[in-house]
Amino acid sequence: MSLTAKDKATGKAFFNKVSPMAEQIGEEVLSRTLTVYPQTKTYFSHWKDLTAGSAQVRKHGLTVLQGVLRAVELIDNLKEGLLNLSELHAFILRVDPANFKIISHNILVVLAMLFPDDFTPEVHVAVDKFLSQVNLVLSEKYR
């Protein structure tokens, strides 16, 4: 399910439009991940405050979203471009790759929720495909 030229163009245009709201998007994505999929809290046992809207959730949500935006810039060469991120997740964070799907789902939900007029079915499929590729590349170094 590789990205066509049209997918890339659609994805880039959409993310350009939504990037000014990166902080709000990131916060919503991470809050929903922690609330709707409570098993994900196991990765943050060292945090003091896991409630939605807390400073740590906001900061880390933005970090994750900025990673996604960076991937959009590197959309023509995800494998090499995200090499460092893949190594980080594989060797240091050791996040089970099943969680990438969870975050991707919540990214789609939040983008739809905040941009209902722009998140058409065509944009939806392009973004879904893009996130699937990112997940694949992030898991690249795991074994």
Partner 1 sequence: MVEWTDAERSAITGLWGKINVDEMGPQAFSRLLIVAPWTQRHFASFGNLSSPAAIMGNPKVAAHGKTVMGGLDRAVKNLDNIKATYAQLSVLHSEKLHVDPDNFRLLADCITICAAMKFGPSGFTADVQEAWQKFLCVVASALSRQYH
Binding marks (x or -) toward partner 1, 13..52, rule CB under 8 A? ---------------x--xx--xx---------------x
CA nearest neighbour of 100 among 56, 46, 49, 142: 142
Angle between helices 121-138 and 55-73 in degrees, nearest 10: 100
CA atoms of 126 and 68, how far apart (whole Å):
14
Among 64, 90, 125, 136, binds partner 1 (CB under 8 A): 125
CA-to-CA distance for 44 and 3, rounded, in angstroms?
A: 33
> In this chain, which of 12, 128, 139, 141 binds partner 1, going by CB under 8 A?
128
To partner 1, the closest distance from the beta carbon of 104 in angstroms equals 11
Query: What's the first-to-final CA gap in the chain, in angstroms?
Result: 22
Range in contact with partner 1 (rule: CB under 8 A) among 2-10, 12-20, 87-95, 104-112: 104-112
Binding interface with partner 1 (CB under 8 A): 28, 31-32, 35-36, 52, 105, 108-110, 112-114, 116, 119-122, 124-125, 128
